Structure 1
């Protein structure tokens, strides 16, 4: 008789038939992190700041609603937009809006976690003003709710433990910026979506510049400064940039940087904040005159070198090198106060390809154009004391005008016509005798 158990699979056989165990592992979190960063970058704030023309209306609407306690047809977004208006620099101390400010502080204390609470953190950051009553009041109220903040602001409080201590946070953030090679990227990583525009970052900017200033003769410190002022992932800082550029130039107040560095800094400054010879607004309106003069000396030298290098490379004449040396010596002797170049078309192309190293340089604003003679002639226009001196490449004569002569060409114009200058010139000299020509220039300037 056959044993029935013999036909039954043994435990060993059953185990052998089982699929091998597969250990499940957590997927890499890099993609999730990148997605979160992308979302925060695309939608950095729950509520956008209202336009200036709408702010008074929003503030008065909130005053009315609080007085009548009417809350029909209003969204959290509108409440936060009104808070931006109520706590901006124009309205934050207005006596008639005191009930509105009191209302917001009360709501911070009692409202459940969510959009309102997180939105008020944004109001605090944007309106931050060191030493002000409204900043202290917002900081106190929000500090008591720090545990209830959303992910973005929890990340910020972790990076800045003193966030809601206004007397300490400015210095802490300034030091953090100083410790970072790329302060702009660091602040964005922390949760400040628009580092240049928040009131807190503006306050820390002053600390950062003051601490960085002694080291700005060094390349790493300069790069750190430009990473903050002109970030690759953001717009150029305008408000508050003047003192930063002054700090940069002050490193060279009493000494001259090498030519390559001088040219690089000049082009970076012009590309970001315009040429002070052509624009008087922006950062240049309140700029330190002595430091502005440093930059103007650099630009004068740079334009003369542009002109001289272009002629040296494109004109084969034994008379040019002594002319070039004469003009450069006058500059070194501090006789040439200002200089401006008007390139012809071929010289312009040469300058773009060989002389201007910065890809940000706008040739249409950086130099003038000379249009006569098929644009074959380029001009160097200089102010030497009370005289305007115009020299040109090839066989173009040197022309000298008094500054107050109505016929004298103006510096920093967009276009010039060399034949018109020649016909209106009261005093000119060819270069056929360099000795006589150089003596004539010295006698007439």
Structure 2
């Protein structure tokens, strides 16, 4: 027995705080994370200083190695969130488990079960021991605990969160709402157990447990985000992105689907083209988003300019650049809008979309430029009566860089006027003879020189 007392005294010595213990401890704030006692749950008393309670429990274990039912209830709230944390000492945990099992009453069990849910994390000290006693006792504790353990194996340290997450996904409700449906009460969405279950549910969505894209998007928006605008838990960021994107695989969904998913992702993480640091933890997801944004930028340019351009000319440009995209030649795209185009783009694609604007210079309010990375080169496709300009080497002096926020118009124009020769470093051509595919065939020839891919007339011919 002297060895046991020495180990408990050592625990007090190691964890005794150098500063005075605050009147309001972290464990008191856990009261908001679990429903009321009437619903079968328990909560710590906000008026108690559980840091002091933890020290009193240690004194009791030193002197008797036994805890009363009331002490066991208090000790349950001192396992992980107090200083000292009682779960760090095996003797104290053994005394708590013994008192809870010997009591035969629901109150110590409720406290232990509620503390487990509030503070759950799979790597918590002695979490498996607490899990085991809860599994043994749950069947005799009535509603809601018996049903939760029977249906979900809730207190199994590994299977419990997985089963709860699976049911949440199947029923399209949050893990907290599943627990509430069993009568547990208003379990807070930020409790440790709910937090871990949301992460598990996101992993299941990522791995294809819900292939209906609209349902998956709605689940993430409702239960993993706060007000649909920010992450409920910042550490869930990569899981959220992967759950939204990975089930698509290498396919690109319809435009209305990509627009809805991009609206959420760009609001949460920004544009990976201009804010790559925010996507550093999720490079594979970023690659998918960049691919979708390339197509969206092409659509921005075509659809916005489509409203003011001459239809007989514009339909040929739409057909040509659509054929270039379909061939997989466009690795990146970025749009520069004048004031009219910027307003129209936000109305059509949402205020969180990314594009650039003109900075000074002489340019019509409705004009726009589509910047494309093709092979080693960069293309500037001007709207209306502007030219198509191609720099063979995107790293050459004077070649425009994609993803800037503003551009001076002169930086996107040919330095030598029109130069439709394949031998010059800056190719430039006006969009004349569209009906006879004059400019298209010359641009296709330039792209073939740059990429080795020849696009035949049949692929960009207007049907």
Length-normalised TM-score, structure 1: 0.66
- 1:344 shift after superposition: 1.8
Match for 1:371 among 359, 369, 372?
359
- Tell me, in whole angstroms, the C-alpha distance in 2 between the residues paired with 1:78 and 1:367: 57
Point out the structure with max Rg over C-alpha: 1
Residue of structure 1 in register with 2:301 after alignment: 307
Q: Which deviations, in whole Å up to 9, do the C-alpha atoms of 1:246-304 show, x marking residues without a partner?
A: 3543333243322222322222332333333233455x334363x54333222111110
Residue of structure 1 in register with 2:405 after alignment: 414
After superposition, the Cα gap between the structure-2 partners of 1:406 and 1:195, relative to the gap in structure 1 and judged at 3 Å, is farther
Work out whether residues 63 and 100 of structure 1, in 8 Å CA contact, stay in contact via their aligned partners in 2.
no
Residue of structure 2 in register with 1:439 after alignment: 442
Q: Which runs of 5+ in 2 are unaligned?
A: 1-33, 61-72, 417-424, 451-463
Work out whether residues 174 and 207 of structure 1, in 8 Å CA contact, stay in contact via their aligned partners in 2.
yes
After superposition, the Cα gap between the structure-2 partners of 1:391 and 1:163, relative to the gap in structure 1 and judged at 3 Å, is same
**1:257 correspondence with 2:253:** yes
RMSD: 4.7
Residue of structure 2 in register with 1:239 after alignment: 235
Aligned residues: 375
Residue of structure 2 in register with 1:396 after alignment: 386
After superposition, the Cα gap between the structure-2 partners of 1:98 and 1:417, relative to the gap in structure 1 and judged at 3 Å, is farther
Residue of structure 2 in register with 1:125 after alignment: 117
After superposition, the Cα gap between the structure-2 partners of 1:214 and 1:115, relative to the gap in structure 1 and judged at 3 Å, is closer
Residue of structure 1 in register with 2:66 after alignment: none
Work out whether residues 339 and 380 of structure 1, in 8 Å CA contact, stay in contact via their aligned partners in 2.
yes
Match for 1:83 among 76, 80, 84?
80
- 1:127 shift after superposition: 4.0
- Tell me, in whole angstroms, the C-alpha distance in 1 between the residues paired with 2:307 and 2:261: 24
- Tell me, in whole angstroms, the C-alpha distance in 2 between the residues paired with 1:243 and 1:103: 39
Residue of structure 2 in register with 1:385 after alignment: 375
Q: Which runs of 5+ in 1 are unaligned?
A: 1-35, 49-57, 70-75
- Tell me, in whole angstroms, the C-alpha distance in 1 between the residues paired with 2:86 and 2:291: 44
Matches within 5 A, 1:38-77: none
- 1:338 shift after superposition: 0.6
- Tell me, in whole angstroms, the C-alpha distance in 2 between the residues paired with 1:83 and 1:415: 52
Work out whether residues 86 and 101 of structure 1, in 8 Å CA contact, stay in contact via their aligned partners in 2.
no
- 1:228 shift after superposition: 3.2
- Tell me, in whole angstroms, the C-alpha distance in 1 between the residues paired with 2:105 and 2:134: 11
After superposition, the Cα gap between the structure-2 partners of 1:326 and 1:103, relative to the gap in structure 1 and judged at 3 Å, is farther
- Tell me, in whole angstroms, the C-alpha distance in 1 between the residues paired with 2:414 and 2:120: 61
- Tell me, in whole angstroms, the C-alpha distance in 2 between the residues paired with 1:158 and 1:262: 41
- Tell me, in whole angstroms, the C-alpha distance in 2 between the residues paired with 1:296 and 1:415: 20
**1:333 correspondence with 2:322:** no
After superposition, the Cα gap between the structure-2 partners of 1:93 and 1:234, relative to the gap in structure 1 and judged at 3 Å, is farther
After superposition, the Cα gap between the structure-2 partners of 1:47 and 1:154, relative to the gap in structure 1 and judged at 3 Å, is farther
Work out whether residues 381 and 387 of structure 2, in 8 Å CA contact, stay in contact via their aligned partners in 1.
yes
